[in-house]
Amino acid sequence: MSVSRKCFLCFILILWNNFSYAEVISYPNCERSESLKTPIQLYLSEKVLATRTKDAVHQILNKWVNYSNVVLRNSCVPIERYLSKVEFLDDIDETWFQSLSAAKVLLTLSLGYEPPELNNRSIPSFVGVVFDSYKASFGGSNCGLSSDSGNFFFAALDCADFVMEHEIGHLSGAHHDHESILSSHSTLNAFEQTTYPRIKSFAYGWRCGNYGTVMSFAPQKIPAYSSPELFVGDLACGDQRLGDNARVMRTYALKHMRKFD
C-alpha cells in the first residue's frame, strides 16, 4: 500500500474517532408560551472608550444578551432579556470593582437617582456595572459578581459571554454546582443556612462529565440551566431533587408574569 493511501486511511480513522467520541447535547422539549421580558441597564466608564470603540463595546454586550436568550430558550424558561440602556459615565472607576455595595451607592450619586430595579409594572430590571477587565476585581480573578439582594451585578468585558447570565441567574435564585459549593462550605446544608430566603434543595447547577450548565464551573459550558431533562450523551445534566435550576428560573418567571393578570 502506498504512503499516500495509508495517510488517507489514517485521516479517515481520525475523523471517525472524533465523531465517535463527540458528545451529543440533548435539550428539553419546550412548549411555547408567553415570555417575561426583562430589561437590563448597563453602565460603563468612559475610560473604556480609550481602548475600545462604542461599536465594539455594543457588540460584546449584544453577544451577552444573545447568549442569555439562548440559555433561556434551551432551558424552557419563558424569559426574554433585552438591553434597555447602555450609558458611559465619567465617574465610574475601576476601583468600583472592589465592592458591590459601594459601587451601587456611587452609581446612584453619579446618576443623581437610584437606577430602578423594578420597572413601572413591577417587573425586574437588572442593573449592571461593566468594567474593562476582570483584573480590576477584588483579588484580580472575578469576572462577575451579584448582590445578595436586589438586581445589581458586575461583569467584565474581557470575560466569557455566559458571565452576565450567570450573575443574573444568581439574582433570580439559581446557584452553583455542588462541587463548587463544597469547595468553600463543609456541607450543602451549611451553605443553605447562609442564604435568605433559604434556597430550594434543587436550586443548583450541574456537572456532567467535562461539561457543566451555566451556573457551574466546568471545563466546557452548556448554554442551559441544569435540568433532569438535559443530557450530554447518556448523562443527565441535572436532577429533579438536587439540580434543577431551570425549574427555579421558570418559577421566577411565572411569579412575575402573574402581575400581568
41 sits in which H/E element: strand 36-45
For residue 154, give the C-alpha cell: 458586575
As given in the structure block, the three cell numbers for residue 18 are: 472524533
> pTM for this structure?
0.90
Residues 176-187 pLDDT 10s: 999 999 999 999
CB contact at 8 A, 212 and 220: yes
Give the mean pLDDT of 60-68: 99
Using an 8 Å Cβ cutoff, are 144 and 154 in contact?
yes
Place of cell 447570565: 165
Contact between 216 and 205 under an 8 Å Cβ cutoff? The reply is: yes
- Rg for the chain, CA atoms, rounded: 21
Size of the chain, expressed as the number of residues it contains = 261
Outline where the chain has alpha helix (H). Answer: 3-21, 54-74, 100-111, 163-171, 178-182, 188-192, 245-257
CA proximity to 102, closest of 138, 59, 77: 138
State how far the Cα of 55 lies from the Cα of 58, in Å rounded to an integer. Answer: 5
How many helices (H) and strands (E) would you count in the chain?
7, 13
Going by pLDDT thresholds of 50, 70 and 90, the confidence category of residue 4 is very low
CA geometry: angle 34, 172, 60, nearest 5 deg:
80
pLDDT level of residue 260 (50, 70, 90 thresholds): confident
Cell 485521516 -> residue: 11
Q: How do residues 215-235 score in pLDDT, each as one tens digit? A: 999 989 999 999 999 999 999
Which domains, from first to last, does the chain contain?
34-172 (3.40.390.10), 173-261 (no CATH)
* pLDDT tens track for 138-152: 888 899 999 998 999
| C-alpha span between 173 and 153 (Å, rounded) | 14
Residue 219 contacts by C-beta under 8 Å, 6 or more apart in sequence?
A: 210, 211, 212
Q: Are the CB atoms for 89 and 113 separated by under 8 Å? A: no
C-alpha 113/C-alpha 214 separation (Å) is: 33
> pLDDT tens, 100-118?
999 999 999 999 999 999 9
Q: Is the omega angle on the peptide bond into residue 197 within 30 degrees of 0, that is, cis?
A: yes
Q: Which of 183, 143, 166 is nearest to 249 (CA)?
A: 166
Q: What is the mean pLDDT of the chain?
A: 91
